[in-house]
Amino acid sequence: MTGHRPFNELTKDWKETLRNSVELKKQDLREEMALSDLRKALDVSQEDLANALHVQQPAVAKMERRSDIRLSNLRRMIEAMGGNLEIKAHFPQGDVKISF
């Protein structure tokens, strides 16, 4: 026996409250991530993304490191990864989708 057990076997005795808190944390992690983490989660290399954007790989690395990126570049990156960019403004009266 190697000592390895499936994850579902390790968690089968967890209390419901622990299961719920883990599920909430998983949702939070999926709702917010850096561009580089998103790209990796989608299994897209910087080289593949660069080819789709018709730029060199270092340009993708630079865009991922930027804290201030143009919306047009962000939209192109998201679309090249197969997504669709949507921007919402949150107000006490409700959310508004920003068109651009």
CA distance 64 to 36: 6
Q: Which two tokens stand for residue 51?
A: 């080819």
CA distance 56 to 26: 33
User: Mean of the pLDDT values across residues 74-94?
Assistant: 94
Largest CA distance in the chain: 59
User: Mean of the pLDDT values across residues 69-82?
Assistant: 94
Whether the full predicted model's pTM is greater than 0.85, yes or no, is no
Span 16-47, pLDDT tens digits: 887 777 777 666 666 778 899 889 988 999 99
Percentage of the chain lying above the pLDDT 70 cut = 86
pLDDT at 26: 67
pLDDT at 1: 47
Mean pLDDT computed over every residue of the chain: 86
CA distance 60 to 50: 6
Domains of the chain: 34-100 (1.10.260)
Angle between the N-to-C axes of helices 46-53 and 57-65, in degrees from 0 to 180, rounded to the nearest 10: 100
CA distance 69 to 1: 51
